[in-house]
Structure 1
Amino acid sequence: MGSLDFFWHLAGFLAPAAGVALLVSLSARVLFPGRGGAWLTAWVLDFVAGAAALLAGLWLSGRDGSMLGYAAMALAVATSQWLLARNWK
């Protein structure tokens, strides 16, 4: 596998985490104004949480695209956004 193929495989693996993190961080600004920091910071932290969950799902199931990985990603992004917005107060 060449470096360009590796790039596209990695981009395809991380695309769901990037998309979900972007949608969650932008919609949180509309639904909960005045909570949390800048949307870009929220997007980066949500993306890191989602990517880590996808990686854990890949490691546990042995393949990409499992429902376990996607469910863990959704839960990780939602938890990250909940912590950023300080919704426990």
Structure 2
Amino acid sequence: MGFLDAVWHLLNFVAPALGLGLLSASFAKLCWRQALQGVPWRRLAAWSCGGAGLALVAGLLLSGRDGRMLTYLAMTVASAAALLWAGWGPGRRG
């Protein structure tokens, strides 16, 4: 595998986590406009993408393969938990 192939492989691996994180932060800001008024979208997106990315890597390490449905479930739960932390919990202040 060449360098360019490795880069594409890595980008395709992290794309679901980035997509889920960006979309969930956008929808959270849209649905809870008043409650999340003081929290920047970039902060929500960073926390959400980070949580989904950690779940994606954990799913790969635990199952040995990426793309498992349990991994995608874990990504969704981790993204929601990160949004909860950054939007309403102690992560909102810091």
Tell whether the structures are fold-level matches, with TM greater than 0.5: yes
- Of 51, 63, 66, which residue of structure 2 is paired with 1:64? 66
> Following superposition of structure 1 onto structure 2, how do residues 1-40 of structure 1 map, counting pairs within 5 Å?
1-34=1-34, 35=36, 37-40=39-42
Deviation at 1:3, TM superposition (A): 1.5
Q: Matched residue of 2:42: which SS? A: helix
Specify the alignment match of 1:54 in structure 2: 56
> Take 2:45 and 2:82, find their aligned partners in 1: how far apart are those partners?
10
> Take 1:9 and 1:53, find their aligned partners in 2: how far apart are those partners?
18
Q: Matched residue of 1:41: which SS? A: helix
Q: Matched residue of 2:22: which SS? A: helix
Q: Which amino acid aligns with 1:53?
A: A
Identity between Structure 1 and Structure 2 (%): 40
Q: Which amino acid aligns with 1:25?
A: A
> Take 1:46 and 1:2, find their aligned partners in 2: how far apart are those partners?
31
Q: CA RMSD in A?
A: 1.3
> Take 2:6 and 2:41, find their aligned partners in 1: how far apart are those partners?
29
Q: Which amino acid aligns with 2:74?
A: A
Q: Which amino acid aligns with 1:59?
A: L
Provide runs of 4+ in structure 1 moved above 2 Å: none
> Take 1:4 and 1:44, find their aligned partners in 2: how far apart are those partners?
26
1:78 aligns with 2:83: no
Q: Which amino acid aligns with 1:78?
A: A
TM-score using structure 1 length = 0.90
Gaps of 5+ in 2: 90-94
